[in-house]
Structure 1
C-alpha cells in the first residue's frame, strides 16, 4: 500500500510538472487531472493507510484523557 501511494504521488507530481513544462493545448488538463487525482485518490489513501490501526478514542478529548493530561502535567512540573 505504501508503494502504491508513493507511485501515485509521483505520477500526479509528474502530471503537474509536465503540464507546466509542456506548452500544448492539453497542458491545463494535465495539471488539473494531476491535482484532482492527488486530492481525490492519493490523500484519502494516505489518510486511510496512516490511521487504519489507530484507536480514535485515544485522540478524542474525553474526561479520562483530560485527567491523564492533567496528571502528566503535574508529574512533569515536579
Structure 2
C-alpha cells in the first residue's frame, strides 16, 4: 500500500506539472486548468482519505484527546 501511495502522489505531482506546462509553455490555458483541477480533486478525494486511513490504522483516538484521565496523567508527570 505504501508503494501505491508513493506512485499516486508522484502521479499527482506530475499531473500538476504537466498542467502548468500546458498553461505556460503551450499557452493552452483551458487544457492546463483541467489537468490541474483533476489532479487537485484526485489529491483531495482519493489520496488524502487513503493516506489518513493508513496513518490512523491501529491507533486509538482516545490516546490523543484531552480527557479527564489524560489530564490527570499529565498532571502526575509534571507536564503543564
TM-score, reference length from structure 2: 0.85
Map of 1:56 onto structure 2: 61
Report the alpha carbon displacement of residue 72 of structure 1 after superposing the two structures with TM.
Answer: 1.4
**Higher RCO (C-alpha under 8 Å, 6+ residues apart):** 1
Structure 1 gap ranges (5+)? none
> Could you report, residue by residue, the CA deviation over 1:6-44 in whole angstroms, capped at 9, with x for unpaired residues?
111111111101100123341111100001100111011
| Root mean square deviation of aligned Cα | 1.2
Which residue number corresponds to residue 73 of structure 1?
78
Residue 5 of structure 1: how far off its partner (Å): 1.0
TM-score of the superposed pair, with normalisation by structure 1 = 0.87
Q: In structure 2, what is the equivalent of residue 8 of structure 1? A: 8
What is the deviation of 1:3? 1.0
How many residue pairs get matched? 74
Greater shift in the superposed pair: 20-29 or 50-59? 20-29
Q: What secondary structure does 2:59 align onto? A: coil
- In the alignment, structure 2 segments of 5+ residues that lack a partner are none
